[in-house]
Each structure stands twice: as structure tokens, then as C-alpha cells.
Amino acid sequence: MSKPKLIVLTGAGISAESGLKTFRGNDGLWENYKIEDVASIDGWHKNPELVLEFYERRRQQAMQAKPNEAHLYLVDLEKDYEVQIITQNVDDLHERAGSSQVLHLHGSLMHYKSTNSSYRGIIQQPLKLGQLCPNGHQLRPDIVWFGEDVPLYPEALDLVRDCDVLLIIGTSLQVYPAAGLAYQAPSHSKTILVDPYADEIPLESQNTTYIIRKKATLAWKELKDLLV
């Protein structure tokens, strides 16, 4: 018999206990920078050097961080579920924990792409201004910024629409279109939300939603009870 399909939609909160800061908790700032300065296409056009430095620091920080208990229990769930992670995170902690199917909706700190072609690769050395793809275009972090399309959204939507359980961990559900995935699970499915500040999340429908108001690493027992 095939295993039930479990989609896990994660956000910055799941990596908080690995030491990587979220941004909603900081008055619209991400690591003391204005989000529009470092995480928007306009910010990139205004000051690419600042943006490159910012993401290089995030990359270094992410490489030093370790997956936490929450990243690890998602791997454990693969014994009983066909687990697909859809993360808004740009760190690689799900992969390093051992999750086998991870879709990065908002890109990855560890990869670069060309500003004007499909050329992509893994960042080995800090990206610099003047570092070009073979067609002569500047390289940039392979991150989806505010003001840009989310190319993997249609794939993520198809996955959510076909799930048996939707588990949402550590996202404020304020960044669209990613947040819209929370409302796309089929009617027979079960939705579970894990967030210590869940009451501040603008959840549209809570009919079939179970809420665990705990930090991700402390939610395992309740989660197991809900998943049986």
C-alpha cells in the first residue's frame, strides 16, 4: 500500500532554533537590514554590492548552523509518509538533516544564477560585482526576491492540492504567493500548524486545522498524536 502524502510547508521559524533569525519578529527588518534594501529586485538594482555582501553573510551563517530537532523529526516521518517539504527558507538545513524531497520556493543561499540567462551553479567563493556568466551577465544569488516571480509555485500548488496532510511550521503566512498554499489542501486532508505565536497568523479557515502553539523543536509529541 502506498504511504499517505504529507506536505510540510516551512518558513524561517523552523530554523530559528538553529540560530538563524526570522524576519517578522524584527519590525520588518532582517538581521537589521530593511527587507526592501536586501530582499527585493529594486534593492538589487539600487545597491547590488550591499545585496551581495548581505547574502554572503547569510550563506556563511547558514553553513555554520546545524539542523535542529524539528528538521530531524521531519526526516523520521519519511518512515510512514511520503514526505515532500516545500520551504520558503533559503538555508539548506532540511537537506543537511536528511530530508529527501525539498522544494525551495524562494531559492537557495548556496546557489548563484545569471541576471539574464538560465545559467546557474553552486557558490564556492563569495560572489562579487563583475563576476559574469559565459554570456557576460552579472551573477547574483539564486534567491526569489520581492517583486519577482516564484517559478516553482505552480509545482508547489500541484503538490499541496494532492496531499493527505499539510503540516505548516514556522511561517507567518504573510509572504504571497507562498502563504496561499496554506489554503489549497484538498477537503479530505488534515492541516496542522506549528507556531508558538500562532494566534498572530491570519489563518483564513480553521475548520480542519489543528494548531500546536509551541516552538518547532517542542512540538513532536503533539504532532505524533495528531498524525496517527
Q: Please give the positions annotated as active site.
A: 106
**Where in 106-145 is the site for ligand NAD (CB under 6 A)?**
106
Nearer to ligand NAD, 133 or 178 (CB): 178
DSSP result, 195-207: -TTGGGS--S--T
Part of the chain binding ligand NAD (CB under 6 A), chosen from 40-48, 128-136, 167-175, 180-188: 167-175
- Residues sharing a CB contact under 8 Å with residue 198, sequence separation 6 or more, in sequence order: 211, 212, 213
Where does residue 133 fall: left (phi above 0), alpha (psi -120 to 50 degrees), or beta otherwise?
Answer: beta
Nearer to ligand NAD, 50 or 132 (CB): 50
Part of the chain binding ligand NAD (CB under 6 A), chosen from 82-90, 127-135, 150-158, 203-211: 82-90
Q: Pick from 84, 138, 171, 191 the residue near ligand NAD by CB under 6 A.
A: 171
Length of the chain: 228
**Chain position carrying cell 529527501:** 100
Q: Pick from 8, 9, 13, 153 the residue near ligand NAD by CB under 6 A.
A: 13
- Min separation Cβ 189 and ligand NAD, Å: 21
**Where in 173-202 is the site for ligand NAD (CB under 6 A)?**
174-175, 194-197, 201
Nearest to 55 by CA among 17, 26, 91: 91
Q: What span, in angstroms and rounded, lies between the C-alpha atoms of 56 and 62? A: 10
- Min separation Cβ 2 and ligand NAD, Å: 30
Q: Which cell numbers in the block locate residue 151?
A: 517559478
